[in-house]
């Protein structure tokens, strides 16, 4: 299994060089059905909280080039077959960093606790925020619950109307320059 901390250590400067913040690095089974793995990299432009296709492509190239350079030096970060997926975190984004839990307080979230956690395994409700390393959520069933961030297996926002309203739109510059062409109809 690939060392996520080491992968993050290599990928983060590549994202930073493009002015991007790294949101998550994760290895997961490939959806291609080839038995390989996928290296999923989520990043965002701090100005928009999103990533457009050109930014995804630029980051993907930088990561690939860095991995190739390391392999030429004899350092293999991921054994076996894998493919790289670079994306925006999306509107129902994962919450991975301290600043995510702070920035998205007031929105609905779902949290899955680590297996060793002594208590309710799944929490869902309004994210109240973070204090130090403790995350507080107003769970629908258990009420207000505070959990240590290092005991959270995964956390993400839930798509709601309030979240949609609060999410900044992608850059729409140039949209007014789009020219629509009428489709030519084939004569019968």
41-79: pLDDT as tens digits: 999 999 888 889 999 999 999 999 999 999 999 999 998
Q: Phi/psi of residue 10, each to 5°? A: -80, -40
Q: Phi/psi of residue 145, each to 5°? A: -130, 135
As beta bridge partners, residue 40 has 26, 85
Whether 46 and 21 have beta carbons less than 8 Å apart is answered as yes
Domains located in the chain, CATH noted: 4-87 (3.30.300.70), 98-166 (2.30.30.100)
Q: Is the confidence at residue 187, as pLDDT, over 50?
A: no
75-101: pLDDT as tens digits: 999 988 899 999 999 889 999 999 999
- Residue among 128, 125, 132 nearest 149 (CA): 132
Pairing of strands 143-148, 134-139: antiparallel
């Amino acid at each position: 299994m690939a060392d996520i901390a080491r992968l993050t250590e290599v990928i983060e400067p590549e994202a930073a060089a493009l002015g991007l913040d790294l949101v998550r690095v994760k290895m997961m089974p490939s959806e291609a059905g080839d038995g390989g793995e996928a290296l999923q990299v989520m990043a965002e432009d701090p100005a928009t909280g999103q990533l457009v296709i050109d930014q995804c492509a630029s980051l993907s190239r930088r990561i690939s080039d860095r991995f190739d350079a390391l392999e030429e030096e004899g350092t293999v970060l991921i054994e076996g077959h894998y493919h790289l997926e670079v994306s925006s975190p999306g509107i129902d984004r994962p919450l991975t960093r301290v600043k995510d839990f702070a920035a998205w307080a007031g929105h609905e979230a779902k949290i899955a606790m680590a297996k060793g956690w002594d208590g309710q395994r799944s929490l869902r409700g309004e994210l109240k925020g973070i204090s130090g390393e403790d995350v507080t959520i107003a769970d629908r069933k258990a009420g207000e619950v505070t959990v240590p961030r290092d005991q959270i297996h995964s956390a993400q926002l839930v798509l709601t109307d309030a979240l949609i309203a609060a999410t900044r739109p992608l850059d729409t510059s140039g949209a007014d320059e789009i020219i629509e062409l009428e489709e030519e109809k084939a004569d019968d």
